[in-house]
Structure 1
């Protein structure tokens, strides 16, 4: 009911009148296009505007939702070369203004509006310069109208990634045009509120998403560079949170140069962003082995990476995967054990599957994940029941590493605590794990699985006694065994990139527990 009333209002004459207020504008700061290169993949070979069918560009009724957004957010302008005719580009914009001067739910959706504003302002040589006075006036007016729309609607967005794009657009507009102090202050107030809502006390996203931390870092740096280039004073709080997120970026990427597959993260390819940071003079360092309840213990050859954090709040659980106490283990840059990754495509079954504990390197009781998810009316999976970390302990010495932690994810349903201890002995290339299931009473017969997902390039073979698995990856061989339970190999799915998957294999220990405290011990050793 409320949504219907809101939509009625947005499409009304009253709302159009409200956002049509305008003042005379002077376009004084024209941002450099290259500042967006951390966010936009620009083709090496640029297109010419003449390559497009200008008469038909807005008449295509068969566009998918994704294609429609790409067309209307105007980010395609970044793919044009500067030899393109600015008059042709401005004709396209004029046609868009004639069709879309009033709010409609598709072309005025806030992420589309925000990107459109950023694109138009960042490509001023094509979108604004050499335009007629009438065109430039209409350009200024429609920009101002879209900014007023964003200021009215940004807080209604449920998606935090869209919010920071909208806030960025408001700030950029306010820096580009003179006499916009009020809008600039409004944009900065929105940014402060966004930071307060989205980041924890350590400056890391409450979603516990590595991917989100890098995304937000890119936008905060972009905003900072706009302030710097326009010769405005950079707000201190922006520098502060760039520092926090830069610390995380160093921890999760610079220090290890691989993508940990936890909580929505998969293949990211941050090498281009590294070059962007270098060009802009940013240097981030973090020598700690723990960051935001993730642990990275490493030497020159081995990296043990583990999630020892709680689940996020429901509102921040969009991409959370129920893999608390899961880990990844690498040797010479190759993942011996890897979580299965995250699926971002439109297949709801795959999206639900990749969230389950079974697709992480951790324990599963009775085929249930450590967190429960439920699907809302939008088809999104959110956490229904959370888990907390009970205790954690880390030892990191030259010849001995240990990570010990426990969570209460199975407490409510089974009255059990799950504790995991992983030890590594660098001199012997030996990894020893103990998964403990603790209860106050004798347990009923309860099925468990502990899974260890393998890189698709791995080759595995089981020995005849069903206790040992031989693993070959690259030119290395490893032996996995568990003496007190049966070990098997199973086919699975590996989501290394956003919306595709390949088949892989996983090792799993399975059995029945029926005592107060059951220990599942396993070992991995290089051969």
Structure 2
């Protein structure tokens, strides 16, 4: 556990004070004295039903009929009970249950029995809830409001008077509650989700639209605060953008349907974030596995990228987000060239500075471990470690430190990381080759070492060559004792490898039979087992090259990988 510096203690105190202030404001806003400002709890007419862009799972309804309810990667046997009667298996499942995103699976089935069940479960929820607990956290509340609005026709068309009144009365009360409480949630995506739900409610429900001007300004300010100029998210997690855009795109449509001009911040965020997501894709069309990217549905990414009407200009560089994209021929390389996010946004960040991933055509060759799915959180700490990334590790420690502080973790939803503090990065073209040169100081405080990395992607895309160096900060450094180091190069689980006939070499074989030649100088080449976390079936065994050695303070290792057949 990392000891906290005075500056970090001050930052935590500031975050806690701001959160306390927001909580107090939320309680005050929801008091009988001020609650009236947010409109009547009775629901007016629905002016618009926003489109849901999230894809439906055709297996959900058949499995539910058999008594099995799968949410957030975890399946539960209902045993004839209502899901609201059961003890949730984990927090992710509970959030998904109370967020009601599963309504889309039932509506997509086209089955009247599924519609009847959706209505009965929704009414049951309204009868069971008492306005406390996880179901009323602003992000969960915002998601539920969005879900109920998305599927309002499914829930309300031809419904009985009792069902209609129960659902609409509850929805109206929830909108008022969210208007008062949206501030009282973790920073980052949860807060933006809550505000998105509130904006949609104000656009779509008659009687609440009189608050839209005020909410629109808050919404635009939060977008500007969280989404960087290059389109990335302040958390540095590319996958969060998919979730954000799946809500922001319908929000833009609702503004247009009401004859209102969308906030410029919303339009700019949509265009830049779509461009950023394209930038972060490897040859298989999916996002590179950095800083929390896990098992992501390709359907969601494909949906947001299909909005060509945004006229997103291709992104040339993502300096603010801290990523590098190199492409030559059929080969694509994406690298992490940024420091850790601020504490309040770093609960999912990983210690993968200067790591990279590489694809050849649609085939993934070198990959980071990625983040485990919600059902596999026991692997979370290992997945965040530097050794689970394609980069260098000194003395079996990560380049970033995990900050364990109960108060901070409660505030932001997890343990953040800190470091490296200083990261340099530049890309140059040299005779058609693309050369990425970078460094970080994640080991400076503990070992006095700077990690320098240079990776060159050949003009033809037929291979990469790399140099990893450990040096002192300014002058030549001689450590009191040698420190072990290891350069990890993880292979995708579908890739195999074998030792070459020449010492210090190996061959990489793809399922299609393509062969890559791997070689290293300055360290011992080992083939070891690794773990690939970002798989829909759970963590998978994989292979990795590990270049091991010991540094006395100034060490250089060269390695390369190139297509041979």
TM range (shorter): 0.7 to 0.9
Alignment of 1:55-134 (within 5 A): 57=82, 60-65=85-90, 68-78=94-104, 79-80=106-107, 81=109, 84=112, 90=119, 92-100=121-129, 102-131=130-159
Alignment of 1:417-432 (within 5 A): 417-427=450-460, 429-432=462-465
Paired position in structure 2 for 1:41 = 56
**Partner residue of 2:436 out of 396, 403, 422:** 403
Asked whether the 8 Å contact 1:304–1:330 carries over to 2, the reply is yes
Unaligned runs of at least 5 residues, structure 1? none
Alignment of 1:12-411 (within 5 A): 15=31, 22=40, 25-32=43-50, 35-37=51-53, 39-43=54-58, 57=82, 60-65=85-90, 68-78=94-104, 79-80=106-107, 81=109, 84=112, 90=119, 92-100=121-129, 102-131=130-159, 136=164, 139-158=167-186, 160-253=188-281, 257-271=285-299, 273-275=301-303, 278=306, 281-286=309-314, 288=316, 290=318, 292-345=321-374, 349-377=378-406, 378=409, 381-396=414-429, 399-411=432-444
Give me the whole-angstrom Cα distance separating, in 2, the residues matched to 1:166 and 1:313: 21
Asked whether the 8 Å contact 1:164–1:219 carries over to 2, the reply is no
Asked whether the 8 Å contact 2:98–2:144 carries over to 1, the reply is yes
Paired position in structure 2 for 1:507 = 545
**Partner residue of 2:478 out of 442, 448, 467:** 442
Asked whether the 8 Å contact 2:350–2:417 carries over to 1, the reply is no
Encode CA deviations 1:424-454: one digit per residue, 9 max, x unaligned.
Answer: 3335934221111111332231111111111
Encode CA deviations 1:385-427: one digit per residue, 9 max, x unaligned.
Answer: 3213443221135632211011111111122211111123335
1:153, distance to aligned residue in structure 2 (A): 1.8
Structure 1 residues 187 and 361: CA distance shift in structure 2, 3 A: same
Asked whether the 8 Å contact 1:345–1:351 carries over to 2, the reply is no
Give me the whole-angstrom Cα distance separating, in 1, the residues matched to 2:259 and 2:66: 37
Paired position in structure 1 for 2:490 = 453
Give me the whole-angstrom Cα distance separating, in 1, the residues matched to 2:60 and 2:486: 51
1:211, distance to aligned residue in structure 2 (A): 0.8
1:133, distance to aligned residue in structure 2 (A): 6.1
Encode CA deviations 1:316-348: one digit per residue, 9 max, x unaligned.
Answer: 111111111111222233233211211244655
Paired position in structure 1 for 2:518 = 480
Asked whether the 8 Å contact 2:328–2:457 carries over to 1, the reply is no
Asked whether the 8 Å contact 1:259–1:266 carries over to 2, the reply is no
Encode CA deviations 1:209-241: one digit per residue, 9 max, x unaligned.
Answer: 111222222222121122223433322221111
Q: What is the SS of the residue equivalent to 2:261?
A: coil
1:255, distance to aligned residue in structure 2 (A): 7.8
Give me the whole-angstrom Cα distance separating, in 1, the residues matched to 2:457 and 2:415: 35
Moved more, 264-273 or 497-506: 264-273
RMSD: 3.7
Give me the whole-angstrom Cα distance separating, in 2, the residues matched to 1:135 and 1:126: 12
Encode CA deviations 1:253-299: one digit per residue, 9 max, x unaligned.
Answer: 38872331211124434345435654784453415255532122112
Q: What is the SS of the residue equivalent to 2:338?
A: coil
1:200, distance to aligned residue in structure 2 (A): 3.1
Q: What is the SS of the residue equivalent to 1:482?
A: strand
Moved more, 192-201 or 55-64: 55-64
TM-score normalized with structure 2 length: 0.81
Q: What is the SS of the residue equivalent to 2:424?
A: strand
Q: Which structure carries more relative contact order (alpha carbon 8 Å, separation 6+)?
A: 2
Structure 1 residues 49 and 232: CA distance shift in structure 2, 3 A: farther
Asked whether the 8 Å contact 2:223–2:265 carries over to 1, the reply is no
Encode CA deviations 1:37-78: one digit per residue, 9 max, x unaligned.
Answer: 3x343428967999999x964773455455554444333332
